[in-house]
Structure formats: structure tokens, C-alpha cells
Structure 1
Amino acid sequence: MGGGGRGGRARTQRKHFQQSRENVWKHPKPPPSSQNGHDNATWTPFATQNSAFDEYYKEQRIVASEEWDTFVEVLRTPLPATFRINSSSQFSADIRSQLENDFLQSLQAEVVEGGETEAIRPLLWYPENLAWHTNFSRMQLRKNQTLERFHEFLKLENEIGNITRQEAVSMVPPLFLDVHPSHFVLDMCAAPGSKTFQLLEIIYKSCKAGSLPDGMVMANDLDVQRCNLLIHQTKRMCTANLIVTNHEAQHFPGCRLNRNHETISSDQHISQLLFDRVLCDVPCSGDGTLRKAPDLWRKWSTGMGHGLHSLQVLIAMRGASLLKVGGRMVYSTCSMNPIENEAVVAEILRRCGGSVELVDVSHELPQLIRRPGLKRWKVLDKGMWLGSYKDVPNSRRSVIHHSMFPSGRSFQDLFDSNHNVDMQNDINDGDNGDSEDSVQTMENSTTNDFTEEVSNFPLERCVRIVPHDQNSGAFFIAVLQKVSPLPAIQEKPKRGIAKKHVKPANPDIEDKEVLQVDLLENTSKEVLEAVSVADVSEIESNIMDLEVRSSVSHEEWNSGEEAREPENAESIARVAQGKRKLQIQGRWRGVDPVIFFKDDVIINSIKAFYGIDKQFPFNGHLISRNSDPNHVKRIYYVSKSVKDVLELNFSVGQQLKIASIGLKMFERQSSREGSSAPCSFRISSEGLPVILPYITKQIIHASPVDFKRLLQNKAVRFADFVDAEFGEKAANLMLGCCVVVLGKGNIADSESFQVDESTIAIGCWKGRASLTVMVTATDCQELLERLLVRLDSTWLFCARRQAVQ
């Protein structure tokens, strides 16, 4: 849809990523003394070696021994730049054509000898040639003058939102997620947002002009500054189907509405926040990005992966609990470490007890070169290789967890498997069953020989991408499908104490109604014990209070302004009720409230001024972030799916901490001239494509020549338009915002106007003597470049026809 729709975005958010880090691939300059010949000191480039890295991954057999040299050699070279065309952009076909017919040939002379044979090429495994690989690193694109036109093209289209610069392997997880336009999708660790943008593209792909998909994307990130990056990235998409939240992923709220809740409306469609698809791209050690961030070479250690393993399991389990039965979840990392990859996937399957299955995706994206997951690996701790949890010294069992090993069996399980029943009974009968001496006795009773375990799960179905297969980064992907509700969790028994059993989960009750699997990890001991022995009905009655507890960040919970951590389940319930009252008032620290905008005076003035058709859904779709309607500067528009989620969120006490929501549709005009206009709100460039089919007033159609003149001059007097009739129509508009649509002939054609994917329109301001474009300079530049050939060819054709006549 026309105008690009990105004007007025919050540019202050760029400060978080404008602080570029040192280019470690560039050779540092020698000191001034060396340049003057006063010192013979030498300098060396950044080291891209780490003996611990080599030892670790050779032992893990991450690649075959004969491939090792090639593998490491590629890891030490800069990562080529890759980007993806936004499939929902109206100019996607034009951009792809420009790449195929212009840059593909013009850049061929810049191919580096000994490298790839093509300067740029489409990624064959990505659908419809929408993703492209270049033979140049990011530094080469910035520094090489002959690549300047291509670099400027990438910068402009990326800023507009027509393309997204993204690492090739990072594009893979959303494709394996198999998202449909009607799906509710959760991106648990979304920042900086390239995958979120990709998910939005997919749900918008089959939408007609002016319509919105039935699905939505909820993008979450823990860090506030990273949320700002996420918001900036996704704003380019101009979508009403996105909610950005700020939560710990492992504690993401379930927003489950009590069945007996009396305030639920009759048209409420959802009573709990569940998702058709979950993307679980977890925090990781990131050694798959060594080509992009070579400073990781000197920082790398095995402890990086060990320290993240438990968090990764928690996040993944929370994602599984929020997934609908029949839904699909993708677990992914940019790490090569099996402790962060296969070990986590095996633990998910182990905890879920058959309710989640690992999907074989070998037939999907057949042209993507991938390798199967590992079924055996070892753990390295303090320089000692461990093949099984029984090899872990007692002093290290708080750091090295049994879930890190292929079998995932704890020491107790390993002990029981050796049938040492008599010794177990002696320990249970003794007074010091948990003493170090007893544990040491158990250790001595087991085999001390080194044994390497093999997982009994089909981990070969996982996807491993290594750099030298297709000149990319490294990535790990596992696709999981939920086939039944998760089982109720059982309390793990202490060593030497008989196991306690709880009632099995009711198969007719969704798993989140039974127990929040990961929610209880960081709650107090008393609450854990209370939940572990409760039956299903008791858990169902108390789970809402536990969810409210988890939805408050640890910083807020422990601060002086909030209540202290409760000591039992009753006090949690009591505090939760109080927190809910605060949340209804929108009191999330540092976040503006989300309020349904219902000011009839303002809404009716907007409808009347623009002649908005009654078919356009207004009720319940307008949002503001200010509780005072007289001071509302922006009105946002949300899709029906987002509206339903918001209504649920209000019903459960605003458990979602919403950082950004909806599409900016109307913006208050603050200029002096604007204050005298009949309508004080103008249509934003972002929202114009959605509301354009429903506007019947303040809309005019310009010839290509006059439309081009508007873009070039930004402001044009009525008398200066080539088409005098168009200038007269513009002068007769009411003072204020108006919409100018590009006609399809040499003159404005308003009789047969019908919005479709090719319709181009921009917002303008009708002043007392001129028409002024309300589109950013970047958007104007983009439209001019995209339309230049089209407009010039149309003008030339019409001029020749007039000359013949």
C-alpha cells in the first residue's frame, strides 16, 4: 500500500544500536611512534584461535575429523551479508526484479578471486527467491566505493522496511514453525526482532489490501532496551497484529481466566492465552556467531553453555505449557554446544512424558543443507571429561546437572538402575541419609570406569547447520509438536527419602490449568510443597494467584515500594489480589497504560471529517496510552485478535506488561494551523493502508506527473499543479489532513478508484494556499526511486500519443 507508511516513527530508539562496537576484523592501526619510525614494535590482528574451543568441539565430534580444518578455516573468515525481502511489501516484486536484472550483473566484476563465483545470489532454500546472499562482508559493503550504490540500496530499503538485513541461518526457524495467517504466535525471546518481523510477514502474506489477518504475533523480551530495538524493528512492518511485552520468558503470564469469573463478556472468545505456534529462540553462548562477532574467540569457555542450560530448559518448558495441543514449537540457538542444544531438547521430551514429540523436518526446505542432531556427547568440567552423571564429583553437582547428559538420569536413578536395593534401604533407615558420607558410599558402589551415554530420544531429527556447508553461521533447531496436555509435575524426592506421588493430570484439563510447569521454579519452598501435594481442584483454584505472582518482575517484587515475598500460598493469594488492583490502573513501572479509547466526540469527528464507511470496525479497536482523552496525542488501531487478547488481559488483572501495541492510526495535529482545522487528528502514514478503502471524504486522485511533483517538492501551491482540475479539487478540500492517491493514467482517475495491492497513496496537509506532503524524506525518496521508471514511461507514452494527435 502506498506511502511506505513509516513516517513519524520514534527515532530516539535508535540510540541503543547506533553505538557501534569496534570492528575487530580490521587490523588495528600501529601506534604513532611506529608510524614515525621511532619504534620497531609489531602489531597483530585479533586472535581467532582458542585451544579450549578446539579441544571441546573435536571431542564432541561436532564435525568429522577430516572436516575439522575446513570447519575452523571458515569460522575464521568474516560472515557474508545476507538480507530478506519483505514479502508483504507492495514493492517486493520490484525489489526482487532489481536484484535479478540489475545488481546480479553489475556487481559481478567485484567477485573476489578464490571466493564464490557470484557476487549476489538468492538463497535457494528460501521460498520465492525472497532471501539473498552476498559475496561481501558488512565491512566490504561499507568501505568499497564501487559497492556504494548497492550499499545505499540496502540501507534505504532496510530503513523503509522493504528488506531486512538478517543472518541467513537466523531466517530458518520461522520457516520450520509452519505459521498460518490465522495463528496466534508467541516469540518468547524476540529482540532484536528480525524473526518477529519474519513471522509478521508470513501471517500478512495472503491478506488483501486494507484487510488484516486473523492471527497475531506476541513478541516478548526481558530487557527494556532490547524491547526498544524490537519495537523499532517491527514498526517498519506497520502492523495492527502485534503486541510487544516485557517479561522473563520462563515466567511468561498465562492469563488464565477463572471459569467462574463474572465479568467475562458473552462474546469473549478466549479464556486463556494459548498459542498455535511458539518460537523459543533462547539466550545462548552464541558461538555460532563467531564469524560475525570474532571477539567471542577469546571469551569462549565451556562454562558459558553450562551456565545457561537450566534457564534454557525453563524457557522451553514454559513455551511448551503455553502451546495449544496440536501446536508446534521451535527451539533454537545460535550455539554449537550440545549442552545448550540436544541436552535441552532431551530434557523437554523427558519432562513432557510423551505429550510433546520431536518432529522430523528432513523433508522440509529440501535445499537447505543441514546435519542431524547428536545422540551422544560428553560434559567437560574443570578440565575433566564426564560421560555420565555418576562421574560428576559431589562438589560439582550443584553446577553440573543430570539433564546435561544424554540419558538425563540423576545420581539416584543411576544408583537405582544398579539394583543396590539393600544399600538404599540402609540409607533410608539411617538418620543421615543426605550426609556427604552416605553420598560418597553410593558413589563408591557404582562403576568408576568412564562410560559414554547415548540418548534414547530421536535427536537425529534435530537440525544442525554448520558454517562450511553453505558459507553461513552455525545454528541449531528442533521442531516439537504438542500431542496432549502436559502431565502434572511431580516433586523430586530428596536423596534417601521415599518418593511422594501426586494425582496424575486429568487428561480433560489443559496442562496450564493443572500446573504451571516452570512457574514454580523460583517460588518459595512452602509454596512448592503446597502445590506438589495438592489435588487437581486445589491447583485449579489457586493457579491464578500464582500466575499473578509470576507476572511481577523480581525487581518490582523485591523493591521497597512493593510487598515483600510472601511466606506461604495464602499470603501469595492475598498479595496477588492487591497487585491485581494496581495493575488494573495500569501501574506497570515505566510503562504507559493500555486503554481502550472510547471518546465518542473525538471518534465521531474523525468519522465525519474523513467520511469513514460504517463497515470499518471502530468499536473496541482503538487504543490509547493516556487515560486523559483531552491529552491523547496518538490513537492506535488493533486487529480483532489483538483486541481479544487485550480483553482477556483486562479480565485477569493486566498480567501482560505491554511495551508496544497496535498500529498508529491517528495523530493529533499540534501546529497552529492544525488547531483551527475541523478535525484535530490526522491519519498517520502507518495506518493509512488499513483505513484507505473506507475513506470517502478528503481524498483526491493525482496524475502521475503531479504526484511526482508532490514527492519532489514536498509542498506545491494549488495553482502550480499541471492538472488544473486537480489543483482546484485540492483547494476545495477542508483545511486539514487529506489523502492523495496516484492515478493510473496521465490524468487523475477518480471514477474507477478501487484499492488493491498496487494502490499508492500518501497523506498530505491541505493548507490555505498549498498542499504539503506528510511523509518522511526517506519515504519520499523510496517512492520516487520505485516509481521513477513507471512514471517516466507513462508520461513518455502519453506525450507521444498527444503529439500524434
Structure 2
Amino acid sequence: MGGGRKRGRSQRRHFKQERENVWKDNPRRPPASAGEGGEGNGWQPFATENLAFEAYYKGQQIVPEEEWDAFMSMLRKPLPAAFRINASSQFCQDICSQLENDFRKSLETEVNDDHEKEAIRPLAWYPGNLAWHLNFSRMQLRRNQALESFHEFLKQENEVGNITRQEAVSMVPPLFLNVQPDHHILDMCAAPGSKTFQLLEMIHQSTKPGVLPTAMVVANDVDVQRCNLLIHQTKRMCTANLIVTNHEAQNFPGCSLAKFCPEAYIDESKPQRLEFDRILCDVPCSGDGTVRKAPDMWRTWNIGMGNGLHRLQVEIAMRGIALLKVGGRMVYSTCSMNPVENEAVVGEILRRCGDSVELLDVSNELPELIRRPGLSTWKVRDRASWLGSHKDVLHYRKNAILPSMFPSGKATTDSCTAGGSVEVNIDAVDADMSESGGMVEGKQETKIATDDSNNGDNGKTEEIEQDESESVKVSRGSNEKTDSTSIVTEHSNLPLHRCMRIIPHDQNSGAFFIAVLQKLSPLNESPVVEVMKGEHSTSKDKALKCSNGQGSDKVPAEEISVQQPGVDDSHVLVEQQNRDMDAEISKDRSSEEAKVIAGEVQNDQATRRDKRKTQNQGRWRGVDPVIFFKDEATIRSIVSFYGIKDSFTLEGHLVTRNPDTNHVKRIYYVSKSVTEVLDLNVKVGERLKITSLGLKIFERQSSKEGSPCTFRLSSEGLPLLLPYITKQILYASAIDFQHLLQYRIIKFPDFVDAKFGEQASALLQGCCVVILREGHEDLESIGMDPSAIAVVCWKGKTNLCVMVTPMDGRELLDRISFRFGLKIPKVDDGKPDLKSDDGSDEQPDGGAETVDPDCMPESKAAEDMDISDVKDAE
């Protein structure tokens, strides 16, 4: 994945010394023997104060002075939990009814906050009452015995994808995208994936069973590990309309066919360039809006976090605008309250883009949502000094404190350097570490590292002693101003009041910033843009990304390189991206392959194109290639065995990640829109690094007993395929369906309905589908009913074995119990365990029939993985 790239200074340091443990040798650390809450053992919660934080936001006048106490009081309270119901789930109405009629009444006595009158309530501003606010924090949900059943309900429904546990304000940005069923959508910084899941809900909500929307979502993240979390999160959606990519958002590839193929090979009927109708630009930020959820933020917050991320945020946002279609809409958002990360970034976008981009007034959308207008004036704080304009910045700091951070965005003459490129030796991120005051006892040693890009760990370090009674100022020049009231601040003439800022004490939530932008015309170079290019063309400016858990959708703390984005989205930026990516990839190729990609092999055009296609398979190191599955014999076998109707097209929609078609284990189904993107990606040289895509629909089975078809159905793909299957189908009564989920393996004579057992015995050996017939009169059309409940099973010689995970099995049992009022007795303890230690499933009676381990619970790793706390990190 990284090839031979050098590690950054901070990354090398982490290999040499362990990361800081906030609990280690901490007087507030709960002893190992501490009980719940640590009461009586000297344990104390994190201190919820930071003098620098309070001074900064009071100086910025985020809220009126008369609201300051209420604002700070709310920030010190734990954040209430929230979740969203999956609108496209077949059990959506069941879950809504269960919340309204069961849990809402049973929990009404658990109200423990004067601010709230109800234990749980739907969020008034979220459409359809699909989002719910709880009067409990995540910690209370875990520890309160009265909430145990409700907490188990939340965990189970979240794991199977019926709900998503997510911070309430994190649900807001996708709602302002105004997503339509035919839109191509890009989520630029997608992990951990709650907003991506929300976007997928929107495009699937109006579709019928077996019908795919024409819309598509590309979810991108810079960190490969967070991409894995993103994949796990979105996998619950079971969608064929998603592509997950792994790129730096500010360098997201431009896929323009005209740049790579001669005009003779361009098919005008197919997409020529990858553009998006909607873009969600939820950028990495300091994350101080999540302080209620992540109280450690009180200890770690410092002014340099926002200042150091500003440049990266502008680069990502500008890249988003470049990828946006004319007429398209982009939402820029952060979970930070800092105007340097919010209004300053939006202002810089408007200045760079001129009349090509408009900041929309969306005050009439979601009227129940309480929001406040964006600021038109603010100050910048640098090393204990308040700055009203860029002319107040000390000369040696002018490349760290940028003109774009101020309301006017204008620079003084002496701040422009020759060539527009200066290596910054002192990171803005580290500049104000000394201002994280209010959290130390006695004296604290603060290190301010001045990194030399050529020397790595050999950068200079200054040590400053900080006394508890006074704040530290890092003084390297005169004229530093600390009194914010004496600063003459600028006022922006841009319509920044159209932005929105969500304040915690308005509706008992976290904090968020949102701006909605619309692209009116292609970006063109202008004199204003030329000036800004000189100000922002530093090729390798290092920015600190916030650490895990501090904010929603953030990347881990590490140093990254920020490339200057081009201005013309159709020429300058694409060319720059192509050069950068080709240079990186060529390091991992043989010289012959590099010559082919560079076009230096002077063969005829057809031969050159064929070679490029062949050699680009597996272009990205460590990432499996995307291969269209074209084994006609296997496809015919699948269609014949399951009786798949001709109306469900498989040709051109099946892909694998294994170039050896003889050893393909999984086959994925992709929508038409995804197919078009894949085709374009191949033609432009596989510029997209695709880590995951499509819906797993078939899996190879290796049963020793054999089967006419070598591939079985996947539980994930069953909802899509069910309306088109005409063979290998059984219709079970509620009691037999219930027993099948409980005991997982049942012999044919042991079914309550003897006729059902006979029908099961008569099926061909191999994979089959069992549908719950309860509540349905017409069995012929039951597959088209969105309320139909079905599971994938394996028909052996003597028995029927269900192939769903235990978690999915429990969920289906609960849904059946709720929908039909059935009582679910516990499984007889006398029966043997259905899951053996080696991962294979044995028959309850210990019979000799061999069951394919691959046919049993689909992912033991997913079954054992408990990442519920990570999932609601948003």
C-alpha cells in the first residue's frame, strides 16, 4: 500500500516509543478493582475545562455573552445517544412500531435530566420520524440495568443494519444534499461510514424489491484501516450501488477519458469523465464539537489544531468543487466550532471560484432544525496573540498563518514569496501546544518541534516550562497582542450568514458546521485565483489530523503531504493528478510497464490499448484487481440451478477480485452505474484504488456430497435476487421457520409440517431458499412482497441447514415474534452445540452427513467483532 515511501517524523517516532496512554499513571485512572463508576476508589472523571478553549471561543463570540454560561454548562454534560432507523429495511415499520408502543412506554420512568421530558423521542427535524434521541449517554446505556434490554435491542439492530447508532448532528449534512434516485454521489472523507450508510438509505428508499436504483455512491477515505471499518459499516446495507476507494481526498483522481484514449476509441454513449451530482465534503477537523462525547478533548485541545488543518480543508473542498457537475450541490461540514475551519474555508472557496459557485440559502429546508447563521467576522489566534488581519501576522509566521484564515482573505505585499513556494519549518499545529492550559498541575514541560523536512527526527526542539498560575506565550518577536477587545477585526463581504452552525445548548446535541454550495458553471482562472495560487502553492505543507475518537469521520493523527489543487477542473487539476499518480505507481513497476503507461512504446493504437488493459490488472499494490466475471459455463449453471428469470441480467454485472477465474470464491453483483464507472476506470488506466464494491451474490461451495451447482447464494444478495428465483424454493410455516432458525439444522421428518419436510427432501442437493409463508396468500408472488422473510439454507441428504449468522438468526426470530405474536422458547440445553470449535456445524443428532463449513455462518470474524462503540463514533 505504501511502497517505499518514507515514514513521516511522527510515524517514525511512534515506532521508537509507545503512544501516550492517557490513563497511565493518571490520578484519575480507575483502579483495576474499581466497581461500576469507580465510587469509593478515588476515581474521578476527566476534568471538563480548558482555559485556552474557553478564552478562544469567548473571544470569537460564538454565542452571545448572555448565553455563555448555558453554552459551557451544556458542553460539560455527557452527550445523549441517538440512532437512525434504516428507511430501506424491510423491518422499518416493525421497528418504528416497537419503539412507539413498547420502549417509549417502558422507559418513560427513566428520565434523569431536567432538560429532557421524555426518555426517548423522535427528532422532529429528521424526515419520517426515523431518527431518535435518547435521554441517556452511551455510558448510561451500558451500565444501567433498567436499560439492559433496550441496549441489547440497539446493538442487535445496529449489527444487522436495521438501525445505525450515530450522533444526531452528524445526520444533518446528508439531508441538505437533496439526493435524487439517479444521482452519482461522492463521500470524500467517508470513514467510519455512518453518513455513507445514510446516503445509501436515501437512494434505496424508493426502490422495490429486486430493482436497483440508478444512483451510485463512491465512498473514499485516506486510511486503509478506516476503509475496512467503512466496508464493515456499509456491508450491512447489502447494496450493489457502492464503490469504496482509498485516496487522499485532496488528490482524488480525475478520470477523464479524453486524456487517455485516442478519439477513435471514445464511445459518446458512455460517460467520458467521472463527475458527481452530489458531494459530501465532511473534512478532517479539530473535532471540538464532539467534546461532550469525547471528554479527553478538554485535555488535548489547542489552538494550533484548527490553524494547522485549515489549508488541508481548503484543498479537499476545492477538489470536491472540481469533481462536481455543473448544477450539482456540495455540502461542506465539520464537527468543529472554529471559524478558521468553517467560515474561513467557505470564504476561500467562494473567492477562488468567483461566480462559478454559489453559497445557497437553505434556511427554509428542515425548518424544525435549530441552527444559527454563519459568522461574518472573526479573529485568528497565533501563539497567544489575537490577529485581526493578515497584516498583523509576524513576518516569519506569514506562511503558517494564511490570508485565507481571515474574513477578507487578502494578503499583504510582503507575504507573497517568489515562486509561491516556501518550506514551513514550524508547523502551525504545534505552534500553540502551550495554550492547552488549564489542565496541568504544577509545571508542565511543553515541546514545540520545528520539523526539518530533510532531517526527519533531527528537527530542533524547544522546551518551555509552564507554571500553573500563568499562561505561556511563545515570544519570538514584538508587537504581540493578547487583548482581543483591542483588535480591529475584518468583516467579510461574502454571504457567510447562509452557512449554519449548530450549537449544543439549542437542542441538547453536539456542535456542527454546515455550508451548502452549488456549482453554477465550470471553474475558470481569474486574477483573484492567480493571487491565491501564489499564497497556497506550498507543495508539502504538513497538517495534523485529529486522532481517532475525537470527531466524526476523522483520520488518525499523522503527518501528510498536501498537494496544491488546480483551478481549472477540466485541465490543470486532472493533469497534475495524473502526473503525481503515474510517478508514484511507476516506482512499483518494471521499466517496460512504465513505458507502456507513459505511452513511450510506439506501437499501433489498438495494440497499445490492449497492453494497457492487461498490465493494469492489479495496478495498486496490496489491492486486489476488479475483474468482470465472464465464465459463461458457470453463469449458465447458476441460472439453470436456481431458475433465475431472464429479466434479471447477470451478464456485465458480475465481478470478482481474483484474476484466476478457476479459483474464484466470491462473485459480486454491481449496478449499471457502477459498471459504467468500472469501465471508465479501466480505460483511463485504473486510476481509482478500489478496496470494495458491489454486493456479494454467489459464493463457491465445496461440499463433499456434491451439488449440481458449484456456487451457492449469499445471504447478502438474497433480497435482490429473491423475486427472480423460480427453483430451489420452499415455503415454511411460522413454527417450522422458527425452529429452523433456533436449531439451525433439522432432519426432514422432524418438521412440524410433514408436507414441508417431504418437499425439502425432494429438492436437488445444494443451496436453497426457505420463505416464511405466514401472512401471504399468493405464494407465486411472495418473492415480490417487500415484507417477505426468507433465508438461505443448505439441503443435504437427510436434513436442512440454515446459513445465516447467529446474530441474523436472532434478529429474524425477534421480528417473527413481534410481527406474528409468537413465543420463542429457549433451545433445549440437552441438544448438542450446533457450532463446533473448528468453525464447522454438526447435526444435532450427530449424524454422519458432512456439511460444508463455508456454507455455515458467513463471517465468524464479523460475528465475533464488537465495534458498536466505534460505529457510533460519529
TM-score, length of structure 1 as denominator length: 0.81
**Structure 2 SS opposite 1:80:** coil
2:772 to 742, 746, 751: 742
Report deviation, 1:790. 3.2
Q: State yes or no: 1:68 paired with 2:105.
A: no
Give 1:627 deviation, angstroms: 0.5
CA apart distance, 1:262:
5.3
CA distance in 2, matches of 1:146, 1:22: 31
- Deviation at 1:451? 2.7
* 1:595 is aligned to 2:627: yes
Q: What amino acid is the match of 1:486?
A: L
- The alpha-carbon deviation at position 296 of structure 1 amounts to 1.1
> Using a 3 Å threshold, how does the CA distance of structure 1 residues 408 and 572 change in structure 2: closer, same or farther?
farther
Partner Cα separation in structure 2 for residue 246 and residue 34 of structure 1: 42
Deviations 1:348-403 (CA, angstroms, capped at 9, x unpaired) = 00000110000001111111010000000001111111111111111100100000
| Pair 1:664 & 2:696 matched | yes
TM-superposed deviation, 1:246 = 0.2
Matching residue of 1:396: 397
Partner letter of residue 67 of structure 1?
E
Asked if 1:701 is matched to 2:763, the reply is no
Deviations 1:674-723 (A, max 9, x none): xx111010010000111111111111211222212211211111112222
> Secondary structure of 1:672's partner?
coil
Aligned mate of 1:487, from 508, 517, 524: 524
How far off its partner does 1:671 sit? 3.3
The Cα shift of 1:488 comes to: 2.8
Over residues 179-206 of structure 1, what are the superposed CA-to-partner deviations in whole Å (9 max), with x where a residue is unaligned?
Answer: 0111000000000000000000000010
Aligned equivalent of 2:792, options 753, 756, 763? 763
2:786 aligned partner, one-letter code: E
Aligned partner of 2:647 among 615, 618, 623: 615
Displacement after TM superposition at 1:549 (Å): 2.8
Deviation at 1:114, TM superposition (A): 3.1
Alignment of 1:65-464 (within 5 A): 65-112=65-112, 114-258=114-258, 261=262, 264=265, 266=267, 268-412=269-413, 450-464=487-501
Calculate the aligned-residue CA RMSD, in Å. 3.4
Shift in Å, 1:543: 7.1
CA gap 1:23/1:131 in 2 versus in 1, 3 angstroms: farther
Residue number in structure 2 paired with 1:466: 503
Does structure 1 residue 718 correspond to structure 2 residue 748?
yes
Provide, for residues 157-195 of structure 1, a one-character-per-residue CA deviation record: whole Å limited to 9, x for no partner: 000000000000000000011101110000000000000
What whole-Å deviation, never above 9, does each CA across 1:721-752 have from its counterpart, x for those lacking one? Answer: 22222211111111100011111359x96345
Instruction: Measure the CA separation in 1 of the matches of 2:269 and 2:751.
Output: 52
CA distance in 2, matches of 1:571, 1:98: 58
**CA distance in structure 2 between the aligned counterparts of 1:769 and 1:42, rounded to whole angstroms:** 62
Quick one: distance in 2 between partners of 1:615 and 1:689? 16
Change (3 A) 1:580 1:192: farther
Counterpart of 1:163 in structure 2: which amino acid?
Answer: I
Moved more, 142-151 or 715-724: 715-724
Residue 811 of structure 2 is matched in structure 1 by 782
CA spacing shift, 1:473–1:414, aligned 2, 3 Å: same
> How many Å apart are 1:294 and its aligned residue?
1.0
Cα distance, 1:307 vs structure 2: 0.5
Shift of 1:581: 6.8
Q: Residue 64 of structure 1 aligns to which amino acid in structure 2?
A: P
1:733 aligns with 2:770: no
Shift of 1:57: 0.6
Give the equivalent residue in structure 1 for 2:540: none
Of 396-405 and 580-589, deviating more is: 580-589
Alignment partners' CA distance in 1, 2:775 and 2:346:
59
Distance 1:45 1:496 in 2: 48
Task: Check the 8 A contact 2:253/2:574 in 1, yes or no.
Answer: no
- Contact residue 545 and residue 573 of structure 1 kept, 8 A: no
Q: Is the 8 A contact 2:80 2:136 kept in 1?
A: yes
Q: Deviations over 1:516-557 (max 9, x none)?
A: xxxx9737xxxx9xx99xxx9xx9788765433344696x67
**Residue pair 1:606, 1:679 contacting (<8 A) in 2 also:** yes
Equivalent in the alignment of 1:500:
none
Q: Distance in 2 between matches of 1:154 and 1:398?
A: 49
* CA offsets 1:184-236 (integer angstroms, 9 cap, x no match): 00000000000000000000010011111010000000000010010000000
CA contact (8 A) 2:763 2:795 kept: yes
Give 3-state SS (helix, strand or coil) of 2:768's partner: strand
Where 1:353 maps in the other structure, the secondary structure is helix
CA distance in 2, matches of 1:495, 1:648: 31
Match in the other structure for 1:522 = 563
Distance of aligned partners of 1:100 and 1:30 in 2 relative to their CA distance in 1, 3 Å threshold? closer
- 2:678 aligned with 1:646: yes
Q: Which amino acid letter does the alignment assign opposite residue 274 of structure 2?
A: L
Residue 136 of structure 1: how far off its partner (Å): 0.6
Measured after TM superposition, the shift of residue 269 of structure 1 is: 2.3
Match of 1:678 among 708, 731, 738: 708
In the alignment, is the contact (CA less than 8 A) between 2:186 and 2:276 conserved in 1? yes
Segments of 5+ residues of structure 2 without an aligned counterpart are: 1-18, 417-476, 478-485, 536-560, 602-607, 825-874
Which residue matches 2:866? none
Work out the percentage of aligned pairs sharing the same amino acid. Answer: 62
- Give the whole-Å Cα distance in 2 for the aligned partners of 1:582 and 1:412: 53
Counterpart in the other structure of 1:635? 667
Contact 2:619 2:686 in 1 (8 A): no
**What are the within-5 Å matches in structure 2 for residues 5-24 of structure 1?**
none
Distance 2:50 2:177 in 1: 35
CA shift, 1:580, in A, is: 6.3
Whole-Å Cα distance in 2 between the matches of residues 469 and 543 of structure 1? Answer: 41
Distance 2:648 2:734 in 1: 29
Note closer, same or farther for the CA distance 1:53–1:117 as it changes in structure 2 (3 Å cut): same
Question: Which residue does the alignment assign to 1:12?
Answer: none
Equivalent residues of 1:378, 1:386 under 8 A apart: yes
* Displacement after TM superposition at 1:571 (Å): 12
- Residues 1:31 and 1:174: Cα distance change in structure 2 (over 3 Å): closer
Find the aligned partners of 1:224 and 1:612 in 2 and give their Cα distance: 37
After superposition, give the CA deviation of every residue in 1:609-642 in whole Å (9 maximum; x if it has no partner): 1111111111110000000111100000000010
Amino acid at match of 1:460: H
Unaligned 5+ segments in structure 1 are 1-18, 416-439, 441-448, 498-519, 796-805
Cα contact 2:241–2:671 (8 A) shared by 1: yes
Provide, for residues 34-78 of structure 1, a one-character-per-residue CA deviation record: whole Å limited to 9, x for no partner: 99xxxx997653221111111111110000111111111111111
The DSSP-based 3-state class of the residue aligned with 2:258 is coil
Compute the displacement of 1:407 (Å): 0.4
Change (3 A) 1:185 1:381: same
Equivalent AA in structure 2 for residue 180 of structure 1: Q
Distance 1:75 1:697, change over 3 A: same
C-alpha spacing 1:766/1:344, structure 2 compared with 1 (3 Å): same
Deviation at 1:670, TM superposition (A): 2.7
2:222 is aligned with what amino acid?
A: L
Q: How does 1:563-582 map to 2 (within 5 A)?
A: none
Distance 1:263 1:136 in 2: 63
